[in-house]
Amino acid sequence: MAGSVRACGRVAVAFSGGVDSTFVLKVAVDTLGAENVIAVTGTSASLAASEFADAKRIAADLGVRHLLIDPGEFDDPNYLANPINRCYYCKTALYSRMATILREHKLRVALNGTNVDDLGDHRPGLAAAREFGVNSPCVEAELTKADIRALSRAMGLPTHDKPAAPCLSSRVQYGENITPEKLRMIERAEAVLHRLGFRVCRVRHHDRLARIEVPLDDLPRLLQPDVREPVEVAIREIGYAHVTVDLRGFRSGSLNDVIAFGKRQVAG
């Protein structure tokens, strides 16, 4: 992977502070030198405050220049409508601004943290990356998420065991408009669970219903009355009329189930 990064010269890294983008940023800094790398983080309402804080801290620890930009996806009615290809509009907004950064700072290419596991999922943002010529060095190196975690651990990166944390908009059911107010509700609801020790969790937003997902091993504790009842009260106080627990447990990208279901219906 270092060879493909070295060939890029001076780069900008689309940096969220997550496992994959932190790994790519670290490799870029080690390979090219911090003076030839700029980390770029979009700071819209879809980024949780805790993730923003992580990104700032990691970039500072790596000694890399860190640009904070507003991608402007909330100005795009296509994004706000939340279709099944919402991520395409989000990444288009981000990469178009990164293209400007490349020109202004005389950088050669933008890098992202896409890995080979992402290629088999519903990822409309990959089309935007292709359109803007964004490089995916982890894909070129045929690295999986497990590979990246193992390499990150060997490098001493604090993100090696960090749970995945996609944007807050990914919690809103497709077809329901995205608003900053809804995203703050989701962020506050997930914070309730984090404070109770649920490290991996999602609160899926279905209008006025909050659907909680935690790993199956954590379900018994969540359903204990002394945990379940204060969780319900706290989340209802945030503004949800109904609070439910998904008995299938945590599943990354579970809102994409409706896409697969639709395909099965058509096929049948």
pLDDT tens, residue by residue, 136-183: 999 999 999 999 999 999 999 999 999 998 999 999 999 999 999 999
Q: Is 122 exposed, middle or buried (0-12, 13-18, 19+ CB in 10 A)?
A: middle
Residue 159: other Cβ atoms inside 10 A: 21
In this predicted structure, the answer to whether residue 261 has a pLDDT above a threshold of 50 is no
| Sequence-separated (6 or more) residues with CB below 8 Å from residue 226 | none
Domain map of the chain by residue range? 2-155, 168-259
In this predicted structure, the answer to whether residue 266 has a pLDDT above a threshold of 60 is no
**Yes or no: domain 168-259 corresponds to CATH 3.30.70:** yes
- Residue 13, strand partner residues: 39, 111
State the chain's mean pLDDT as an integer.
93
| Sequence-separated (6 or more) residues with CB below 8 Å from residue 33 | none
pLDDT tens, residue by residue, 120-133: 877 899 999 999 99
| Rounded Cα–Cα distance for residues 52 and 183 (Å) | 14
Q: Which fold does the domain 2-155 belong to in CATH?
A: Rossmann fold (3.40.50)
Q: Residue 262: in which H helix or E strand, if any?
A: helix 257-267
What pLDDT does 252 receive?
78
What pLDDT does 258 receive?
61
| Rounded Cα–Cα distance for residues 189 and 87 (Å) | 23
Q: Residue 227: which pLDDT band, with cuts at 50, 70 and 90?
A: very high
In this predicted structure, the answer to whether residue 48 has a pLDDT above a threshold of 60 is yes
227 against 256, higher pLDDT: 227
Helices 19-32, 49-62: inter-axial angle, 10-degree rounding: 20
| Rounded Cα–Cα distance for residues 90 and 104 (Å) | 22
| Sequence-separated (6 or more) residues with CB below 8 Å from residue 22 | 15, 58, 113, 152, 157, 159
pLDDT tens, residue by residue, 189-225: 999 999 999 999 999 999 999 999 999 999 999 999 9
pLDDT tens, residue by residue, 60-80: 999 999 999 999 999 999 999
Whether 11 contacts 36, CB under 8 Å: yes
Tell if the pTM clears 0.85, that is, is over it.
Answer: yes
